[in-house]
Structure 1
Amino acid sequence: MAHTTEWPFDTDADQDDPLTQLRIAVTSSHPRWYYLVAFDKDSDTRPTDPEAAMLASYLEEYKAYWYNTSYLHKLAQRPLDVDGGANGVIFRKWGTDDWGYRRQSWTRGPLYVPQSPRIRARYPDEAPLGPMTLVQVMDHAHTIVDEVHKRWTEWKAAHPDVFPPEPTPKEA
Structure 2
Amino acid sequence: MTTADTAWPYGTDVDRDDPLTALRIPVTGTHPGHSYTATFDRESEVRPTDAEAQMIASFIEEYQDRHFGNGRWRKIQQAKPFDMDCYTTSIFHKWAADDWSYRCVTWTGGPFWAPVFPRQRGTDTDTATIKGPVTLEQLMDRIHSTGDEPWPHWAAWKAQHPEAFPQHPAQEG
Q: TM (normalized to structure 2)?
A: 0.86
* Unmatched tracts of structure 2, length 5 or more: 169-173
In the alignment, structure 1 residue 132 sits paired with structure 2 residue 134:
yes
Supply the distance in 2 between the matched residues of 1:37 and 1:126 (Cα, whole angstroms). 23
Cross-structure match for 1:147: 149
In the alignment, structure 1 residue 79 sits paired with structure 2 residue 102:
no
Alignment of 1:23-172 (within 5 A): 23-68=24-69, 69-83=71-85, 85-120=86-121, 122-123=123-124, 126=127, 129-165=131-167
1:8 Cα shift?
Answer: 0.8
Counterpart amino acid of residue 49 in structure 2: T
Cross-structure match for 1:169: none
How many residue pairs end up in the alignment? 164
Counterpart amino acid of residue 102 in structure 2: Y
Cross-structure match for 2:14: 13
Alpha carbons of 1:30 and 1:124: their partners in 2 closer, same or farther (altered >3 Å)? closer
1:161 Cα shift?
Answer: 2.7
1:73 Cα shift?
Answer: 1.2
RMSD between aligned alpha carbons? 2.1
Q: TM (normalized to structure 1)?
A: 0.87
Which one is further off, 88-97 or 67-76?
67-76
Find the residue that maps to 1:91 and give its secondary structure: strand
Counterpart amino acid of residue 88 in structure 2: N
1:164 Cα shift?
Answer: 2.4
**Identity, % of aligned pairs?**
45
* Unmatched tracts of structure 1, length 5 or more: 167-172
